[in-house]
Structures are given as C-alpha cells and as structure tokens.
Structure 1
C-alpha cells in the first residue's frame, strides 16, 4: 500500500532529484566540454598540421614552379639555340656554296689574268720593237732629210761655182764618176783634210800625238793642283787659259783645248798663212802630188771637210785622189764650223756620269755609216 509522505518530505525529495539532475547535466556538460576541447585541440592540431603542410606544399609548389620556369626558360633557350644553329647551318651551307663559286670564279679569273699577262708581255715586246724600229726609221729619215738638204745645197753651190769658174777647163778625155755612197772598208782609218779659203789643210794627228798632248795637259793639272775631287773634276776656268795662252802650232793648224760639257776636246784651226793652194794640187810634180803617190790607200781613206768657199779646190783634190784609186768621202760645213776631236784619258771637267743602265730591249745595230762616195 502506498504510503503517503508529508509536505516536507516531498520538498526534500524534489530538491534531491533536481540536484541529481543538475549534477548529471553538469557532468554531461563537463564531458561535452572535455570532448569539445579535445576535438578542438585535435582539430587545431590537425588544422595546424594541415596549414603547415599546406605552407610546405605551397613552398614546394612555388619552388617546383620556379624550377619549372627555369627549366622552361632553359628549354626555350635551347630551342632558340637549336633554331639559331639550324639557321646557321643553312647559312653555312649557303656560304660554303658561295665560297666554292667565288673560288671557282677567282681561279678562272686568275687563269684569264695569266693569259692576259702573257699576251700583254708579248704585246709590250712587240710594241717596244715597233717603237725602236720607228725611232730608228725616224732617225734615218732625219739623216736622209739632212743629207738631201745638204746635197741640194751642194748642187746649188756647185752649179754656182761652175758657172763662175774661170780656171782650166776639164779636158775632154777626163770623165767624172757619179757618187756611189758606201761603207768604209773594215780596218781602214780616216785621214782628215780640211778645205778652207780654197786651200787644202791635211791633218797629221795620230794616237801618239793625242797621247802626248793629253800627258802634257795632265802635267799642268798636277802642277797647278787643278783637280778639285771627283764631284767637281778639273777646274776648266783655270786650265783652258793656261793651255791656250801659248797653243801648240803645227805646219797647218793651231791647236787649242776646248770643252764640251764635262769632256775636254782638242780643236784644230787652219792657219791662214799656210795650206796647199790650188796650183800645187793641180801640179803633177808638187809636194801634194808626191803625198798622194805615197798615200797608203790599203790602210787609210780620205775624209774631206769642205767649207763654203773651197769647193773648187776640193773637186781638184778629189780628182787627183780618184786617179790614184784612193777611197774618199766628203762633208760640207758652215763657215763657223771648227774641227775637234776627243782628248782621251780620264780627265773631266765635272763628276763622272753614272754608267748607263742596260737596255732590256736593245735596238738593232745601226748600219755602218756610208762615208765613202
């Protein structure tokens, strides 16, 4: 049977029940709180670990990204290098082809240049030969022109002389020969005769006379110390007056020392009071006739230098020489012409000229002068 409690008992039981309930709730809350704290810590730890891992992952990803970028850049550079190398290879092939073409063209040009050089040398030689021949022909032409002019002058003078000639006429039995210009016989020496003031002046001057004259002049140079060294040579301003103050005189000539540039020469001036007159030339027993009879025509030939006033005596002397088969030639001269010859030796009035350079294309030898007519 149910017992009924009092009010105080009911209130005490209620409080106890409430207290138990609160205790249970508090316990549950504590457990929940503990559980919550544990979960939060774990979550915090997991979050922290997750965040830490994420940061590391991010750093790793960043590093990997940077590494990939560097690798990509390297690959791009390598790709550029590969492309550039390929381009260079193509250009190199082109350049090699151009080089081969250029080398081939240069070789062809070199061969052609060598051929042209050979042809040019041949043409130069031919041109030099032609120029030398032209120069020789020009000189020969000038010489022929001079000879023609002289011959024309001679013809005019002879005609005038013959028209005025009042001497002995040529006998009908005598004959005149036409001129026959020809060279001097080999080994024959020239004997000089001057025709001036209608007289004959034979020049007896040989190599011994030349040597004697030169030594006499060299002695004066040494005594007066006129040699001024190889650069100046002998003082001609002092030497010439010394020698010519008392010039040597022969039977027919007065001899003087002259100069032609740096070279000393000997001049021969006919003596006005001497000479072989026309009468002696025409005489058959004169000294001149004896001279012609004894003349060595095998070793010498006569060379007449004729002044304008002496054609008459030249023709007479020439006829006398022709009768004796003496070879002779002649050359007309002006009034102021003076016969000179070289002194010889090493005496000079200035520095010795340098030796002539050898001519790579020497001209053809000149023909011997035709002094005999």
Structure 2
C-alpha cells in the first residue's frame, strides 16, 4: 500500500513541472514581445526627435514667447477694462440723458404747427428783400469806391502838413490816339490781361479739336465748354472758361490764377513788376484801365497811386462779387453755337424830336 502512494506523488510532481515549464515559456515570450515593442517605440521617438531641426526648434520657441507676450497684453487689457468699467457706466448714463433730451425736443417739434405754404411765402418774400438789399449794397459799394478813388488822388501841399489839396477825378474821354492797358483786380491781387495772347491760346484748342467741335458750320459750344473744363487754357496769369452769350456766340470768361499777381503790399514796392511796367509805358499813347472787384480794392488803390506818381492816366470799372469778365474770340471767328440762334434785330427807334445824342465814349479816364 505504501509503494502505491509513492507512485502517485511522483506523477503529481511531473505535472507541476510541466505546468511551470509552460508558464515560464509564456512569460519569456511576453517578455520578448515587450522588449521588442519598447525598442520600436524608442526607435520611433528617436527618429521623431532627429527630424526636429534647429530652425524648427527656434521657431517654436519664438511662437511660445509671442504667445506669452499676447497673454500678458490680454491680461493688461482685461485690467484696463475692469478699471474703465465705472467710466463706461457714466458715459452710458450721459448718453441716456442726451437721448431723453432729444426725444423731448422732437416731441415739441411734432406738436408745433408749421404751414409749408406760409413758410414758402415768407422765404420768397425774404429772398426778394435780400435781392433788393444786395442791389442797394452794390450801389453803395460803387459810391464808396468812387469816393476812395477821389481820396487816392489827395496830395499834401505847403509847409503845413495838415493842409491838403484834393484833386477830384474828372471823368473825361481818353485822349485821342491812346489805348488802355487792362489790369484785373480780383482775388486780392492785380494781374495784367493779355487779350490777344489769350485769344490765340483759345484758338489753338479750337483748331486742335475742330473735328469734334465744329459741325455744319456751327460750333458745338457744349463740347467746347467741357474741353476747357477738363484742360488748362490760359497763360501764367489767367485761366479761360467758355461761356455762351445771348447772341448765340461763344465767349471767354477770364479768371485770375491764384497767387499769380501782386497784392497791395507788393504793389507798394518801387521794384515790383507793375512799377517796372509803368516805367515802360508811354503816357502820351497809353493809359491804365482797371477792372475792380470789391475783394481787391486795396490792390487797386496801390496800383492807381503808382500810376499817378508816374503821371499816367487811369480809368476803372467796378464789378460785383459774382460778375465775370468776358472777352470775345478773335474778330475773324464768326461761328455761332450749335442749336442756338441769335435774337431778332430790334426795331429801329423813332427819330427823336431834338438833335441826336452823341454815342458814349469807348474809353473814359478820371
């Protein structure tokens, strides 16, 4: 019986050894796979690290620094917004108060009764009154200009400095055989007017664009007007624009160029261009003819005084603020504007009972 138990014990140990052998084998296999997987992971990590260049690393560091900087800025802005919250609340309250005031004013306007027809009548009446006052003002300006022109000719005489002899202007016809040299006093300055030269400049434009502006022996004045608006036509002192007259003919409106002439202070200098021009004039054959706007009366007085000191006669014509100075095209240019017709000739007036009145003088000096 004892021997049988010994056989059973040996069989149990063999089974145990087989089991242990299998377990150890499985563990070895698992260990081998684990080591291989770890080696592959280390290899992949090493390859990834090797692929990162120095430039990429530097770029990443710069981006990190920029992100930190932005984070600090946002923190500062957040702090500023938190600090400005009371002011913003105050501004909102002020805006609400202003809105309430505007709403109240709108309600007042809505309640007011306004008659559009009555308002239009009042405006028309006031416009008529304004036109009347402007006419009166223009007449007064002419009277004042005439008085100033007389005062400009005042000279001192005798040992008494307070004693003055006033030479009053005496309007009269220009001496026969003399011609006037025109100067424009506008925009606070005095500029000479070269009528023949400006007419020649205008004709150059007409001839260069003849195919576009001349049709059926007529002048397309609208196209010519646009042409003069789009390009500069004139000289160093004046610029030209085209205007259509009531006689269906084109005219040239003359505008002094800005800062092209002499102001009142410059005209006081004996070395000015105007003073040099006066020295070249012949008082026996020429006189100065001023065209004067109200904004340049001081320049006109200085120029007139300079002419008087040289013994040169002078005449002047005042212009209203919005008036334009026109000159015609050369005399041989006879074309009328396309689509325009001159007015019919006026009927001859009946012969007066007395002698015929003499025609007005073409040139007047004072």
TM-score by length of structure 2 reads 0.50
Aligned to 1:313: 299
Matching residue within 197, 210, 229 for 1:244: 229
Residue range with higher mean Cα deviation, 355-364 or 280-289:
355-364
Aligned to 2:155: none
Give the CA RMSD over aligned residues: 3.6
Matching residue within 145, 148, 154 for 1:154: 145
Does 1:227 pair with 2:215?
yes
1:271 CA drift (Å): 1.1
1:332 CA drift (Å): 1.8
Does 1:372 pair with 2:365?
yes
In the alignment, the residues of structure 1 paired with residue 137 and residue 244 of structure 2 have an alpha-carbon distance, to the nearest angstrom, of 26
Q: Which structure has the highest strand share of the two? A: 2
Does 1:216 pair with 2:208?
no
| Structure 2 unaligned regions, length at least 5 | 1-135, 153-160
Ranked by relative contact order (alpha carbons within 8 Å, sequence separation 6 or more), the top structure is 1
Q: Check conservation: 1:183, 1:370, Cα contact below 8 A.
A: yes
| Structure ID, larger Rg | 1
In the alignment, the residues of structure 2 paired with residue 317 and residue 172 of structure 1 have an alpha-carbon distance, to the nearest angstrom, of 25
Q: Check conservation: 2:283, 2:313, Cα contact below 8 A.
A: yes
In the alignment, the residues of structure 1 paired with residue 239 and residue 231 of structure 2 have an alpha-carbon distance, to the nearest angstrom, of 10
TM-score by length of structure 1 reads 0.49
Does 1:205 pair with 2:195?
yes
Q: Check conservation: 1:181, 1:370, Cα contact below 8 A.
A: no
Change in 2 beyond 3 A, CA 1:370/1:295: closer
The 3-state SS of whatever aligns with 1:219 is helix
Q: Check conservation: 1:328, 1:372, Cα contact below 8 A.
A: yes
The 3-state SS of whatever aligns with 2:284 is coil
Aligned to 1:278: 264
Does 1:337 pair with 2:323?
yes
Aligned to 2:176: 186
1:213 CA drift (Å): 3.8
Q: Check conservation: 2:142, 2:318, Cα contact below 8 A.
A: no
Residues 105-136 of structure 1 deviation map (CA, whole Å, 9 limit, x = unaligned): xxxxxxxxxxxxxxxxxxxxxxxxxxxxxxxx
In the alignment, the residues of structure 2 paired with residue 312 and residue 264 of structure 1 have an alpha-carbon distance, to the nearest angstrom, of 33
Change in 2 beyond 3 A, CA 1:340/1:372: same
1:217 CA drift (Å): 4.5
1:263 CA drift (Å): 1.2
In the alignment, the residues of structure 2 paired with residue 184 and residue 267 of structure 1 have an alpha-carbon distance, to the nearest angstrom, of 26
In the alignment, the residues of structure 1 paired with residue 148 and residue 181 of structure 2 have an alpha-carbon distance, to the nearest angstrom, of 25
The 3-state SS of whatever aligns with 1:309 is helix
Q: Check conservation: 1:280, 1:288, Cα contact below 8 A.
A: no
